[in-house]
Amino acid sequence: MNGQRVRSALLAAAQGLLLSLLSLGVSLLLFILFVLSLVFVGLGIGLFTTPVIVDAIRAHANQRRTFAKDWYGISIHAGYRPLPGGPLPGGPRPGLAGQVERTVHMLKDPATWRDVGWLFVDAVAGFVTSMLPWALFGYALYGLVLLCGVWQPIVDAGGTYWFTFVPISSWFTAVLAALTGLALAGIALRWNPLLLTGHFQMTRALIGASEKRLLAQRVARLTETRHDALDNSAAELRRIERDLHDGAQARLVAMGMSLGTIEALIEKDPEQAKHLLAQARENSAEALSELRDLVRGIHPPVLAERGLGDAARALALRMQLPVEVDVELPGRLEEPVESAAYFAISEILTNAAKHAEAERAWLDIYYNGTARTLRIAITDNGRGGASLEAGSGLRGLERRLGAFDGVLAISSPAGGPTLVTIEIPCSLAEPGHRTALR
């Protein structure tokens, strides 16, 4: 127990040292840069610098949220408003109108101003709370160093030396200073983790989104994705109807007309009737093939029978470019999630082969059981330049994944490579439940 306490206190001291450097260095620097950027907005320069600085502030705040969650299990929700559609870092930059829209959007977001206020407080109060865990141990070590005789030249040069509240002028007072340092070390062993917990609790109070705001964003997101799901369902029904009308239905009608002609010619011209009968047989085979393709497009049989992993491997074999597949799935997922993930993979790989002129692609599918998240990463060595601009196919794919609370991110610098990452919150399906769905 004592060993665990010592390790926790020393670890908190190391964490506090890192946090104090971030608080006094990064937080203060970003606060100053943000204020200067606001001043330069009137000159036009701030329109280009403000989004960059705000992105840096959010990355800094998100890093602190990550530390709070990983180190002490404190969740700090961001609650940022979704940015207007546009390319991600590495893609083509928006024009002046898009830059103004992005700047105004960020400055209107209350979360931006929460972060800015936190920067100033973090540079002062945050620095103090993160400094104490390692400073307490530092004072304890310094007290022992003074006791080793270092106090003598210091006192000889400048008179009485104060160690915290102990005036050192003799060996007796040096011993008192050392004992005071040991007392500070005892305080550090007992309170270091609590000091950093207080640091992160203060951070959560300053930059954590309220439950009311998170609920409002959640409702808005669900409303948007509901409309998207309805639109996608209607578009899919229109596609199926069009494929049936233009494909299988037309062939079946032609086959019916051929059979009527065959019935009239079977006694008068048997040879012509045989020829038409062969054509009708070909039409029936082609209609059956088109129906199979249509059903496969709605829900591939291999996906229903063997799951996302095997379906992705089968899909990779049919692609025009070599695809290296790595799958780590502990079991089957819910059918809607598997279907959404499969068609997302299909569309992205098709884009890589058709538009990116890629020569090779890599597909990684992984399920994080702790976070209950399906993660898909698709990389290609194409020419890059992919983005989530309005009107692009990937933008539509992002909106369709939104119905599952899925997230799609792209890194696609000019010249490549392109990395598309998909995360979909989901749980493993129970065998009985999947049987009932089928």
The ranges assigned to domains in the chain are: 2-207, 214-298, 302-437
pLDDT of residue 93: 45
What order of strands is seen across the sheet that includes strand 323-328? 323-328, 361-368, 373-380, 418-425, 407-411
User: For the residues 404-429, what does the mean pLDDT come to?
Assistant: 82
pLDDT of residue 109: 86
Tens-place pLDDT, residues 105-163: 888 888 899 999 999 999 999 999 999 999 998 888 888 888 888 878 887 787 787 87
**Domain 302-437, what fold?**
Heat Shock Protein 90 (3.30.565)
Q: Is the pLDDT of residue 91 over 50?
A: no
For residues 6 and 25, is the Cβ–Cβ distance under 8 A? no
- Reply yes or no on whether the pLDDT at 83 is more than 80: no
**pLDDT, position 36:** 93
* Residue 4: Cβ-neighbour burial (10 angstroms; 0-12, 13-18, 19+): exposed
CA–CA distance, 206 with 94 (Å, rounded to integer):
32
Bigger pLDDT: 260 or 122?
122
Residue whose token pair is 């008192």:
176
CA–CA separation, 204 and 121 (whole Å): 12
pLDDT band at 435 (very low <50, low <70, confident <90, very high): very low
Query: What is the Cα–Cα distance from 279 to 259, expressed in whole angstroms?
Result: 10
Using CA atoms, how far apart are residues 366 and 214, in angstroms rounded to an integer? Answer: 28
State the pLDDT at residue 436.
36
- How confident is the model at residue 89, as a pLDDT? 38
| Total-model pTM | 0.55
349 touches 319 (CB < 8 A): yes
Q: What is the pLDDT of residue 197?
A: 93
Q: Which residue has the higher pLDDT, 102 or 38?
A: 38
**pLDDT for res 314:** 86
Decide: 333 and 304 in contact? Cβ < 8 Å. no
Give the integer Cα–Cα distance in Å for 204 and 184: 28
Does residue 362 contact residue 376 with C-beta atoms inside 8 Å? no
Question: Which residue from 40, 48, 34 is spatially nearest to 112, judged by alpha carbons?
Answer: 34
User: Across the chain, which distance is largest between two alpha carbons, in Å?
Assistant: 132
Q: With 70 as the cut, is the pLDDT of residue 287 above it? A: no
Q: DSSP secondary structure string, 195-218?
A: HHHHHHHHHHHHHPPPHHHHHHHH
- pLDDT band for position 235 (50/70/90)? low
Q: What is the mean pLDDT of residues 9-24?
A: 92
Residue 5's pLDDT band (boundaries 50, 70, 90)? confident
354-387 pLDDT, tens digit per residue, is: 777 788 889 999 888 877 888 999 988 888 877 7
Q: Considering only residues 245 and 198, tell me which one the structure prediction assigns the higher pLDDT.
A: 198
